[in-house]
Amino acid sequence: MVRPTIIHKSPAQLRVPPNLTKLDAERSRFSWAAARAELTELPGGGLNIAHNAVTRHARGPGRDHVAFRFLSGDGVRELTYGELESLTNRFANVLGGLGVGRGDAVYVLAGRIPELYLAVLGSLKIGTPVSPLFAAFGPDPIATRINLGSGTVLVTTTSLYLKKVARIRDRVPSLRHVLVVPDEPDEPLPPGTSDLPALLAAASDDVAVVPTRPDDLALLHFTSGTTGTPKGAMHVHEAALTHWVTGRYALDLHPDDVFWCTADPGWVTGTSYGIIAPLLHGVTSIVDEADFDSERWYRILSEQHVTVWYTAPTAIRMLMKAGPAPALARTRPDLRLIASVGEPLNPEAVWWGQEVLGLPIHDNWWQTETGGIMIANTPASDIKPGSMGRPLPGVEAAVVQRSDVGLTFLPDATEGELALRKGWPSMFRGYLNEPDRYARCFSGDWYLTGDLVERDADGYFWFVGRADDVIKSAGHLIGPFEVESVLMEHPAVAEAGVIGKPDEMAGEVVKAFVSLKQGFVADDALRLDILGHARRKLGAAVAPKEIAFLEALPRTRSGKIMRRLLKARELGLPEGDTSTMEGGAS
Ligand code: ATP
Ligand code: MG
């Protein structure tokens, strides 16, 4: 099907007037200092994420508004801003009672249960940095991460403790306290742990938020491990400013919204946008404790009256794989904005949103290191499917080439590395234990992202690939995203991962791994058909030479296709760090 290259938007036709209508005007008007004035200072001065996310609502008219609605097998549990305030105060006091303070670090290893959210916000209140981990991590990745950040407290559940942490406890010498949430009432407490619900019940619900400075450490987030061993990115309290303004511009949050960020807090998205940004805006967030399930997700969107939905390409691909029937079986009259992050969003997926869900999907780009959304398709702006959008107000982005003598700034329509001018508040302030690596990310005033992009004449940025993934074949530089997007247009293809395979003649040849939508059979006829489609669209030089069918592609816990693993397996090389691989040891 031939589709237009642009989805035109008219702000007047949008049901809710968007916060951002004129990007260029807003960019020139914007200042971070003015944004800072919109957040609340601490009584004695200073900035604290949790004070702005929770306390200021609890002390105002938003006190009885629902902050979180947790959906679990046991039913629904709601916490208002007022309740969240008193429970996070209790958590802060539990830490205080244990002598835990600013020099410590709290880790959380739990599913998306309320205590995870209390631990994150309660730790921030007393200035203790906090790091949520994926509950599915195995013992080794848990130990590595706690040791990297010298974790002193771990919040977990009894079963996760017994299954994973007990085995590595003697390998994490910095860990002084383990606070467990029992999975069942009256469960015996494992030796060497404390009962978190009992401690919370006994603690005071009044606490003075400590006077954190804007550049005090707040969050430790590990990168997804898509390209190698995960790095620990350090974030500070003033990151809240980025969460605040991007919640307004990119996610278009309005006070009555019901917002659903599907990411787990173990991935930076699930903290920046699953916890902080929606609370800063005083909206109601849905937290689904269960894993992906297409039927369930469609039910949540309808029954919870979700208005703004923030998800990831991997989830969208899985919904596409399940076919349109479950989407069409329900209506979603409240939903007005769908946004996505984490991987390039193929144009096919943007159109699928438009055609099957009735709304296009707004791709946006950022990284663990940037702490918040930097480049986005926003509600009132035209969407160019396949593009990640334009830099948000307060963000200056450029396309550069690095060399020993510095940076060359490249003109439009030229491939180069995406660079961001330093100065946005949620910029990471270091990689744990890797100062040299951190220093290598910067050149002068610019942070270098490691992603290759192109900017068009309208200022839209187009993702080409990660610097590590680009394929050099017979003199061509081929970005895997372009090839994958064309493969995704084939009606049988659910997802595609493309690698360069060493070749004597060409240097590298393009090899594609694809998984199929339901109802298609992986055979030679289909392989030839997909190859033919790719050749017609891309030309013989860029189209894959080989296609292999896989049941599913290897991916990280945050849902990203692990091309390095496809390549290592293809070449019979060691797989490297697989700690973040979905379905890996746990
Ligand atoms: P690691 O750094 O450990 O290899 P990772 O880079 O996948 O893992 P994250 O910080 O979770 O870890 O992901 C950021 C990266 O994800 C970006 O640098 C980019 O490569 C990719 N990404 C995120 N959003 C988009 C997007 N909208 N379009 C294209 N790529 C994206
Ligand atoms: Mg990265």
**579: Cβ below 6 Å to ligand 1?**
no
pLDDT > 70? residue 435: yes
Q: Which residue has the higher pLDDT, 1 or 153?
A: 153
Residue closest by Cα to atom 23 of ligand 1: 342
Size of the chain in residues:
586
Q: What percent of the chain has pLDDT over 70?
A: 99
Buried b (16+ CB within 10 A) or exposed e, 467-498: eebbbebeeeebbbbbbbbbbbbbebbbbbbb
pLDDT tens readout for residues 68-112 = 999 998 899 999 999 999 999 999 999 999 999 999 999 999 999
Which runs of E-coded beta strand occur in 289-353? 308-311, 337-340
Kindly write down the DSSP assignment for every residue of 449-490, as one continuous string.
Answer: EEEEEEE-TTS-EEEEEEGGG-EEETTEEE-HHHHHHHHHHS
Give which of 554, 576, 575, 563 is closest to 510, Cα–Cα: 563
Strand 416-421 and strand 284-288: pairing? unpaired
Q: At 18, give phi and psi (nearest 5°).
A: -70, 150
- Nearest to residue 569, comparing CAs of 511, 489, 517? 511
Distance CA 565, CA 581 (A): 10
Instruction: Compute CA distances 397 → 198, 406, 422, 428, whole Å.
Output: 49, 17, 10, 16
Q: Rounded to the nearest whole angstrom, what is the distance from the C-alpha of residue 558 to the centroid of ligand 2?
A: 12
Say which ligand is closest to the CA of 228.
Answer: 1
Distance in angstroms (rounded) separating the CA atoms of residues 360 and 368: 25
Instruction: Encode pLDDT of 192-224 as tens digits.
Output: 999 999 999 999 999 988 999 999 999 999 999
Q: Tell me which residue of 278, 209, 288, 270 sits closest to 66, measured CA to CA.
A: 278
Mean predicted lDDT score pLDDT of the chain: 95
Question: How much is the pTM?
Answer: 0.96
Q: Which residue has the tokens 């530089």?
A: 477
| CB distance 407 to 366 below 8 Å | no
Distance in angstroms (rounded) separating the CA atoms of residues 290 and 543: 39
The helix-helix angle for 294-303 and 313-321 (nearest 10°) equals 110
Q: Please, are residues 550 and 511 in contact by the beta-carbon 8 Å criterion?
A: no
Distance (Å, whole) CA 549 – CA 547? 7
Element at 82 (helix H, strand E): helix 81-97
Cα 59 to Cα 255: distance, rounded to the nearest angstrom: 16
Query: Per-residue pLDDT for 1 more than 80?
Result: no
pLDDT of residue 12: 84
Question: How many other CB atoms are found less than 10 A from the CB of residue 73?
Answer: 6
User: Which numbered atom of ligand 1 lies nearest the CA of 450?
Assistant: 18
- CB 426 less than 6 A from any atom of ligand 1: no
Q: Which ligand is nearest to the CA of 464?
A: 1
pLDDT digits over 224-263, tens only? Answer: 999 888 999 999 999 999 999 999 999 999 999 999 999 9
Cα of 435 vs centre of ligand 1, distance in Å, is: 21
pLDDT at 460 over 90: yes
- Mean local confidence (pLDDT), 471-486: 90
Q: What is the atom index within ligand 1 of the atom nearest the CA of 580?
A: 3
- Nearest protein Cα to ligand 1, atom 1: 225
Amino acid letter for position 56:
R
Q: What is the mean pLDDT of residues 373-400?
A: 97
498 within 8 A of 563, measured Cβ to Cβ: yes
The residue behind tokens 């900017």 is: 455
The answer to whether 352 and 1 are in contact (CB under 8 A) is no
Q: Is ligand 1 within 6 A of the CB of residue 558? A: yes
Element (DSSP H or E) covering residue 514: strand 507-516
Protein residue with least CA distance to atom 15, ligand 1:
367
Question: Ligand 1 test: best mutation among 134, 148, 226, 417, most atoms within 8 Å of CB?
Answer: 226
Ligand 2 center from residue 230 Cα (angstroms): 8
Compute the distance between CA of residue 332 and CA of residue 519 in angstroms, rounded to an integer.
27
- Reduced to 3 states, what is the DSSP secondary structure of residue 500? strand
pLDDT of amino acid 148: 96
Give the pLDDT of residue 584. Answer: 62
Ligand 2 centroid – CA 345 distance (Å): 17
Three-state DSSP class for 1? coil
Residue type, 219: L
CB contact at 8 A, 19 and 248 = yes
Q: How far is the CA of 364 from the centre of ligand 1 (A)?
A: 11
Instruction: Tell me the per-residue pLDDT of 522-538, one tens digit each, with 9 for 90 and over.
Output: 999 999 999 999 999 99
pLDDT class of 586 with cuts at 50, 70, 90: very low
What is the phi/psi pair of residue 194, to 5°? -120, 155
| Ligand 2 centre distance from Cα of residue 10 (Å) | 35
Ligand 2 midpoint to CA 347 (Å): 22
Residue 348 has pLDDT above 70, yes or no: yes
